[in-house]
Structures are given as C-alpha cells and as structure tokens.
Amino acid sequence: MDEKTKYCIKCGKKIPKAAKFCPFCGASQEPVSQKSEESQIKPQETSINSVNDEDYRDNNSNHPGMINSFKLYLADAFTISKQMNCADYWWSYLTIAIIQFVFSIITFQIVFNYPLLTVDSIEGETYIDHPGMLILAFFLSVIFAFFSVASFTSMIRRLHDTNHSGQFLWLLLIPFVGSIAILVMLILKSDSQGVRFRKKDYLQNWYKKWWPWVIILLLAALDTLLLMLISSAYAYILNN
C-alpha cells in the first residue's frame, strides 16, 4: 500500500487515502492511523486467498475465472441491483457459451432426428412419437431458459458496474448499431460511481423462492413448444 491509498475497513479493497466512503462497498471510513492501516491489511490478505462472502455479495471476485465467475453468475441469476466487473462477466460468458454450444448440438439432434410432434393430415389427429425425447427436450429447454434469464441479469449488473443503467439494453432493439453500443458498454472498465445501483435488499438464494422457478418453467414450456413445431415442420417437409 502506497502513501496515497488505504484499505477499506469493511471489504478490504484499496481506495484513495482521503476517501470518506468506500467506492466499492459504500462503507464509511474511520480516520486513518498507523494502527488502523495495519489492521486493514488482514482483510485484504484474506480476500486474496479465497472468494469470501463479501465477494459473492458484491458479485465481484478477486480471482476471476471460469469456476469462480460462473459461481457468481449462478448465485445472482435473478438479481439486478448489484454490479459485476468486466473479468467476471466475460469469464462467465465464456463458460455459458461452451455449455450452451454442447446442449445446442444435443437439441439439434433431437429436433431433426426424432419428430416430437406428428400431425396426421388424414385423420386430423396429433400425437407424440417419442415421449422420451420430448422429456429430454423439455429438460434442455429448462437449462436454456435459466441461462437466458441469468445472462440478461448479468448484463444489467455489468452495465451497473460501468455506471450505466440497465435501461440501455433497450438499444438492442436497434438492429446492428444497438448491439455494438451495448458491446462497447460491456467492455468498459469499472466505475466507482456504479455503486449507486447497489441495494441491500437484493434477492438471496433465489432457488429457494417459487417465482424464479415459475419464470423458468414458463419459458421452458414456450421453448419446448417451439421445438415441437420446428420438429413437426421438418418431418412434414421430409415426407412430402
């Protein structure tokens, strides 16, 4: 620690020596003394060695990587009133991209090799040829639905970390230009002013609540229905 910085008495991160409030966690800082500076070194050393509870609360890891960042991604899947630093966001994005790529291949094989829905044009009846594959397709849809929600909220937290509102995601409705604008925002460095988006009443242990699961299941049901229609249309084209 140099003469111009000190460690936050709460989260242990390095901040300007004259700061009265921590730009990372918002904690009020006591007057700096030699004794307090020495005591502040301990939390910093602890946070370097492990990802502690404060890291998960702030959705920032001192050791960004595929595992640590993915854990933060999962923990705050239904939380937007936080921040997410650039490294954690892109590491988790890489992890999700790999997982979704594998599951997409499996889904592709199911949809185009096993008709999930068959319509008898003569008798006017509709029936399911492969119920086992339909169940598997629904399971994959649940995973895709969860990742869709979690990726959306992580984008909002990343924007918060750059001191931008999640409302900027409306730019995605603008073809091409909007996507580029959001991409630029997502790769910006962290801005200490982004702490204004953080709230204490964020959702904890979302998997213990009922409404996140309702959202996931509804999205999964819609996705499964879409897969059934695509599979049925593909089978109809092949047979005619």
Confidence of residue 39 (pLDDT cuts 50, 70, 90): very low
Confidence of residue 5 (pLDDT cuts 50, 70, 90): confident
pLDDT at 234: 84
Q: What is the pLDDT of residues 196-228, one digit of tens each?
A: 888 765 667 888 889 999 999 999 999 999 998
| Residue 5 or 144, more confident | 144
User: What mean pLDDT comes out for the span 75-94?
Assistant: 91
**Is the model's pTM score more than 0.75?**
no
Q: Give yes or no for residue 60 having a pLDDT over 80.
A: no
Of 1-15, 91-105, 201-215, minimum mean pLDDT range: 1-15
Taking alpha carbons only, the member of 110, 105, 106 closest to residue 234 is 110
pLDDT at 236: 77
3-state secondary structure the chain: CCCCEEECCCCCCEEECCCCECCCCCCECCCCCHHHHHHHHHHHHHHHHCCCHHHHHHCCCCCCCHHHHHHHHHHCCCCCCCCCCHHHHHHHHHHHHHHHHHHHHHHHHHHHHCCCCEEECCCCEEECCCHHHHHHHHHHHHHHHHHHHHHHHHHHHHHHHCCCCHHHHHHHHCCCHHHHHHHHHHCCCCCHHHHHHCCCCCCCCHHHCCHHHHHHHHHHHHHHHHHHHHHHHHHHHHHC
The mean pLDDT value of the chain amounts to 81
User: What mean pLDDT comes out for the span 82-100?
Assistant: 93
| Residue 127 or 210, more confident | 210
pLDDT at 30: 64
Domain locations in the chain as residue ranges: 1-49, 55-239
Q: Round to whole Å and give the CA distance between 194 and 131.
A: 49
Looking up tokens 């695509």 gives 230
Q: Highest mean pLDDT range out of 22-26, 119-123, 192-196?
A: 192-196
Q: What is the pLDDT of residues 139-155, one digit of tens each?
A: 999 999 999 999 999 99
